[in-house]
Chains A and B, each alone.
Chain A
Amino acid sequence: MKKKIGTSVFLCIMLLVLYLPIVILAVYSFTDATNIGAIRGFSMHNYVTLFTTPELLEMIGGTLILALGSAVLATFLGTIGAIGSFYSKKKVNAAISTINQIPVINADVVTGFSICILLVVVLGVSKDTFVPLVIGHVTLCAPFVYLSVMPKIRQMDSSLYEAALDLGATPFGALTQVVIPQIVPGIISGFGLAVTLSLDDYFITTYTKPATFNTISTYVVNATKGSQTTIKTALWALSTIIFAVVILFVAIVNFRTVKKEEAQDV
Chain B
Amino acid sequence: MKFSRKTLGIPYSVFLILFVVLPLVVLFFYAFTNGQGQFTFANLTGFFTDPNAIGTLIYSFAIAAVTTIVCLLLAYPTAYLLAMSSLKSKSVIVMIFVMPMWINFSLRITAMKEILTFLEGNLSMYPFLNSVIGMTYDFLPFMILPIYTTISRLDGALREAAMDLGADERSTFLTVTLPLSVPGIISGVSMVFLPAMTNYVVLDMMNNSTYIMGSLIGSYFAAYNWHAGSMIALILLGLICLFTLLSGSGEEDNQRGGALL
Contact = CB atoms under 8 A, between A and B. Distances in A.
Answer yes or no: do A and B interact: yes
Contacts, number: 267
A24 B114 CA distance: 9
Main secondary structure of the interface of A (DSSP, over half): helix
B90 to A, nearest CB: 11
List the 7 closest pairs (A to B, CB-CB), nearest first. A84-B9, A81-B12, A84-B8, A114-B23, A220-B106, A21-B111, A239-B107
B30 interface: yes
A96 B13 contact: yes
Max chain B Cβ within 10 angstroms of own Cβ: one of A28, A175, A189, A193: A193
Report, as a range, how many residues of chain B touch the other chain.
35 or more
Contacts of B192: none
Interface string B29-49: 010000000000000000000
B6 A139 contact: no
Interface of A: 7, 10-11, 14-15, 17-22, 24-25, 28, 35-37, 77-78, 80-85, 87-88, 92, 96, 99-111, 113-118, 121-122, 135, 138-139, 142, 144, 146-148, 161, 170-172, 175, 179, 188-189, 192-193, 196-197, 199-200, 202-203, 206-207, 216-217, 220-221, 224-225, 235-236, 238-239, 242-243, 246-247, 249-250, 253-254, 257-258
22 contacts: A10-B78, A14-B78, A21-B111, A24-B111, A24-B115, A36-B114, A36-B118, A77-B11, A82-B12, A92-B13, A105-B240, A105-B253, A106-B240, A107-B197, A144-B257, A199-B104, A203-B201, A216-B104, A221-B106, A238-B107, A246-B99, A246-B103
B97 A14 contact: yes
Given A10-B78, A99-B21, A246-B102, A117 B27 contact: yes
Given A189-B261, A242-B104, A115 B214 contact: no
Nearest to A179: B5
A202 B259 contact: no
Nearest to B222: A206
Nearest to A257: B91
Contacts of B195: 107
B183 interface: no
